[in-house]
Amino acid sequence: MARVIDVRSDTVTQPTDVMRSAMAAAVVGDDGYGEDPTIRELEGEFAALVGKEAAIFVPSGVMANQMALRVLTSPGDLVVTGRHHHVVSFEMGASARNASIQFAPIEDSSGFLDAEEVAEVVSAEFDHQPHIAALCLENTHMYAGGVPWGAREIASIVAAADGRPTHLDGARLFNASVATGEDPAALAAPATTVMTCLSKGLCAPVGSLLAGPADLMDRARVERKRLGGTMRQGGILAAAGLVALRTMRDRLGDDHRRARALADAFSTRFPESAYEPESCATNIVAFDHQRARELVARLDDRGLRGGTLSPRRARFVTHAGITDDDVDAAIDIITSFTWA
């Protein structure tokens, strides 16, 4: 059977041979006692990379987001964020269950938030509305198609939150950095806390990192314990994470170039979607289509495996497992597609 081109997500990436060797050789200890040197090294390197005092290694991006919300808010608080942000729409209501907060979700279909709208929501506290404890932003913005934010755009929204702390969901922060040419620390600077995932485009098998001020990270470590996220001899995983951070960031530009080629093909073949391929600046192709689920199923039958983000929104994500030949084959499938 012909090979399936799997562009459901960049989470399907496999660890590299270098990662597997590093994992086998990792020096480990009990991280519950703070004694895993490889985890400490990874946490230190990430904190330095994003310009924060301290960092914590965690099993997943969702857990890092939840820990951040738990340390930045109190139960019953509101968090201002985009209505399509991962914390709102793709964490199975975790923020209500784990952090006991509500969201004040605002329009973000373009991938960006409007500073005036954020300021208006924040100022409604004056009108007897719930306390707005924090702002949560996402860079790149997944649902909108991996839209990258520059540091100035982030800073303008943070300013609109009138002194409230900001958590930056940077699951794909390094994609944003490659696309904008801005340093990860510059992108993270306006935020109080920042998380990134090692297990997406960077190809590590497991793991995410949360960084921020040392006192907040001490509290976040307690929250990680409460959520069951202490990983003991997790240095085996951190060793792969170090390879990811040190060697896998620069190659993300290849994923972006390949995604753009797919975006062009989709927009040409499906003009009814009104998809603008120029909006594809990183590794995610996402567009609305009335028959999105059927389209994804039929492309799958032909060997191109994508997914849907909502009933009428399709998504295709490039990653290290996708070559130029795969992209050519995918474009053939898209171009020759018929509904019959």
Ligand X SMILES: Cc1ncc(COP(=O)(O)O)c(C=O)c1O
Under the rule (CB under 6 A), what is the footprint of ligand X? 60-62, 65, 86, 138, 142, 169, 171, 197, 199, 208
- Closest distance between ligand X and the C-beta of residue 320, in Å? 16
Angle 252-269/324-335 helices, nearest 10 degrees?
10
- Closest distance between ligand X and the C-beta of residue 122, in Å? 23
Q: Which of 204, 239 has the CB closer to ligand X? A: 204
- Closest distance between ligand X and the C-beta of residue 61, in Å? 2
In the numeric block, which tokens belong to residue 34? 């703070």
Task: State the Cα–Cα distance between residues 186 and 200, nearest whole angstrom.
Answer: 21
Q: Are 227 and 72 in contact (CB under 8 A)?
A: no
Q: Which of 24, 92 has the CB closer to ligand X? A: 92
Q: Which of 199, 267 has the CB closer to ligand X? A: 199
- Closest distance between ligand X and the C-beta of residue 268, in Å? 27
The helix/strand/coil state of 223 is helix
Q: Which of 84, 260 has the CB closer to ligand X? A: 84
- Closest distance between ligand X and the C-beta of residue 195, in Å? 8
- Helix residue ranges, H only, the chain: 17-25, 37-49, 61-72, 86-89, 94-98, 115-123, 151-160, 173-180, 184-188, 214-226, 235-247, 252-269, 292-301, 324-335
Q: Which of 89, 156 has the CB closer to ligand X? A: 89
DSSP 8-state secondary structure symbol assigned to residue 3: P
Bridge partners for 80 per DSSP: 104, 135
Q: Which helix (H) or strand (E) holds 136?
A: strand 132-138
- Closest distance between ligand X and the C-beta of residue 269, in Å? 26
- Closest distance between ligand X and the C-beta of residue 172, in Å? 7
The helix/strand/coil state of 244 is helix
Q: Which of 111, 334 has the CB closer to ligand X? A: 111
Q: Which of 265, 280 has the CB closer to ligand X? A: 280
Task: State the Cα–Cα distance between residues 284 and 146, nearest whole angstrom.
Answer: 5
In the numeric block, the tokens 């979700």 are attached to 105
